[in-house]
Structure 1
Amino acid sequence: MRRRAKADTVRQKNATAGEGGHSPPEKCDGGRRRTQSARRMRRRNLKNMQNNFVKIIKKAMPAVVSIVVSENLKEIPKNLITPAAQKKLKKITDNNGDIEVGGGSGFIVDKSGLIATSKHIVADPKTNYTIITNDNKKHKAKVIFRSPHNDIALLKLQTTNYKLQTLKLGDSNKVQLGENVLAFGSPLGNFPNTVSEGIISGLHRKIKAETDLKPGKDTLKEMIQTDAAINPGNSGGPLINMKGEVIGINTVAVANAENISLAIPINPIKKFLKTSKHNR
């Protein structure tokens, strides 16, 4: 009886300790700890990314503007509107007799009041342009540059002695697929200070689009593709990387497609700014 009891005790110890009397490896506990650690790491990375987004948005937003395009009602050819329509339009004109006919977005690139935007927004030399800054103040502006080869333009604020915040311009030649980006603008003209997030989903894209009042379409090359939402009214706004640098100018969302938006690379604007400063 004693030998049998002793043998049972030894078997119980072996069963508890494992083969050879050693403790079994804690595979389950180790795997669980690694999984929990990976989850904590992902949560920290996500939180850091969100915090970075917030910092970039807070810093960039004061330099993003809305552009209102208006035309004096008297300048509109009478054969284009009926007398009844003209009466209705008079009711929504401002004190100067101007009526809003379009709009878009832009961003301040120089403290002297230079604003970058898309050329197709400011294509008509007969229209008037009003800049609405982030503090909701209105400023008159004039177009000083329309690119003959690209959908980019520059306006100059007519307001003087006004404190402006600018955006840092990056290098669009260094843009990589998969980069996180933020698109700023005023979609539909009714939702100022809007931001959407996405990634760089394509490079060196080429499309044909109308960028001015001339007949036919221009070929836009080397465009940056993103899945960040760009809607009518977003055109001219900045596309910003995770360093807070502008790498592109939001231009167009591809019709009949989802999450395919395109931006003009920022380097052509940088080149013009460098030349214009040299000539001042």
Structure 2
Amino acid sequence: MTISFVILLLLIPLVDTSTVRPFTSSAIPIPGRNVPIMRLFENYAASCRPTNKRDFNMDQLANLLQSFQMDEVATKQYNSLFFSMADMQIEKFMGKWYTVVDSKEVHKEDCGIFYFDMVLQTPYTATFTSKQYAFLNNDVVTNEGYGSMVGPEPGAVLITTGHERDQCPFFPVRIGGLNDEGEYQYMILSTPLKYPTMVLTRDMEQFETKWKREVYDFVEKNGFMSPMAALNTRLHFTDTDVCRKVNKLYENGNV
């Protein structure tokens, strides 16, 4: 287990409550350029849903934190996540998305559809809602969450899904395929542990023909396909033809 992997696990708080908290003001970095990378990871950790489960000896991990140059480790991990990302244009992030790749050990649902809607935007900040419709045991299930941007850096965009098994938010680690309107056509969402990971697209047919291979190569090469945290499980690529048959929401443009 690498040092950066262990240290980033430490950043997830393990306290006694069960509600999803909004981003805490004490951890939000100042919007704008040159936000310290450790502040971005601290903001991420503060945005997790707390749990009373303790997976590690916290005293030993606290000592480990003091033994290494945290800024250097955090920078290395940040670069490994966001090396392919430019500054986010959050308005191109909004709208309807189909889930075409997912971590099925975490998300048991099939054929998910996300909607992101802007609530408030300033030059360096944004707040938006997240709503997901998915198919589970012949029923449609709904998850509601929220998102926030607190600076132009890619690590400053956080998305909570509202899913009961998503303790921490996701952030985009790759976006691509701009259309004629300048909107992103696919995005890869993940976490500091590279698990769970999801891939969303605006157009399923174009994803299959234009971007599926590009996305597969990216997640395989950069450790998202089957990371250490995933316990030997691999990402699941959705059969979009099956989704069209079983999920009527795919045919409903108003949902």
Looking at secondary structure, tell me which structure has more strand per residue. Answer: 1
Q: TM-score, normalised by structure 2?
A: 0.28
Structure with higher Rg: it is: 1
Q: TM-score, normalised by structure 1?
A: 0.26
